[in-house]
Amino acid sequence: MENKRNKKILQEHLIYEILSVVEEIPEGNVATYGQIARLIGRDKNARLVGKVLSMAEYYGTYPCHRVVNHAGRLVPGWIEQRDLLLLEDVPFKNCTHVDLKRCQWDC
């Protein structure tokens, strides 16, 4: 029983660690899943970051729209992401990719 409790606490701690980094992304900038993984000391866990962000609405309001993949691609099927980034004047290379050279968060 104790092991399950510790595992759950660790998971929640990890979730909030990821979300706290996302919360720091400045308006008008984006970060990649891998970048966030590196910032929390988990270089190889970009997919974990994506999984946590897909459930972020259950933990509060976070600017998850500011997170893209390593190539700057938006989340497939999340139409609002592009609109939210355009409202922040994030530059795009095309309809589905932000221009990372011009807007990636320098943290």
Q: Are 27 and 88 in contact (CB under 8 A)?
A: yes
User: What's the pTM?
Assistant: 0.89
Q: Are 25 and 19 in contact (CB under 8 A)?
A: no
C-alpha to C-alpha distance for 49 and 105, rounded to whole angstroms: 16
pLDDT, mean of each 10-residue run, the chain (107 residues): 55 94 98 98 96 94 98 96 98 98 96
- Residue 58 is predicted with a pLDDT of 92
- Residue 11 is predicted with a pLDDT of 87
- Residue 4 is predicted with a pLDDT of 57
What's the total number of domains in the chain?
1
- Whichever domain contains 23, its CATH number is 1.10.10.10
- Residue 85's domain spans which residues? 2-103
